[in-house]
């Protein structure tokens, strides 16, 4: 199994329930861990036999920046659902951080995982 990690993908979106959050985009940090069987990719050395993390990341960027979310839980689940649409994915974990969501904390995050 190959483990793909996308670290600190920083995007801007509408996230939250307060009026200022609904009206202003905020940063979110996304971290992904994806496991998929990579035997063919290793043997053939061709992107057609690998899980294309660039394609997955572009879909996440478009979805996050093009929508509004009240809750971190919902945003995290929708990203996980996007990753899991790729049949090669056996396991995925998504963590979404909302920087400065609490006064004395660096960030608040939600982590969700899925497998097949």
pLDDT in tens, 61-104: 999 999 999 999 999 999 999 999 999 999 999 999 999 888 89
What is the structure's pLDDT at 18? Answer: 92
What are the start-end ranges of the H helices in 14-100?
Answer: 19-23, 39-44, 53-65, 72-84
Q: Could you tell me the residue range of the domain that residue 99 belongs to?
A: 2-115
Q: The domain spanning residue 18 has which CATH number?
A: 3.30.1130.10
pLDDT in tens, 9-45: 999 999 999 999 999 999 999 999 999 999 999 999 8
Contact 98, 9 (CB under 8 A): no
Reading across the β-sheet that carries 68-69, which strands appear in turn?
68-69, 2-15, 26-36, 91-99, 107-115
| Structure letter (DSSP) for residue 68 | E
**Euclidean distance between CA atoms 66 and 72, whole angstroms:** 15
Full-model pTM: 0.93
Q: Total domain count for the chain?
A: 1
């Amino acid at each position: 199994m190959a483990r793909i990690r996308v670290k600190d993908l920083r995007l801007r979106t509408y996230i939250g329930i307060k009026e200022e959050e609904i009206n202003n985009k905020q940063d979110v940090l996304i971290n992904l861990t994806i496991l998929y069987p990579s035997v063919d990719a290793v043997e053939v050395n061709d992107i057609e036999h690998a899980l294309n993390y660039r394609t997955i990341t572009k879909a996440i960027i478009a979805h996050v920046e093009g929508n509004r979310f009240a809750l971190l839980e919902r945003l995290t689940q929708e990203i996980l659902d996007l990753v899991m649409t790729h049949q090669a994915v056996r396991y995925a974990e998504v963590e979404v951080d909302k920087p400065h969501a609490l006064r004395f904390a660096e960030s608040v995050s939600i982590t969700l995982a899925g497998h097949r």
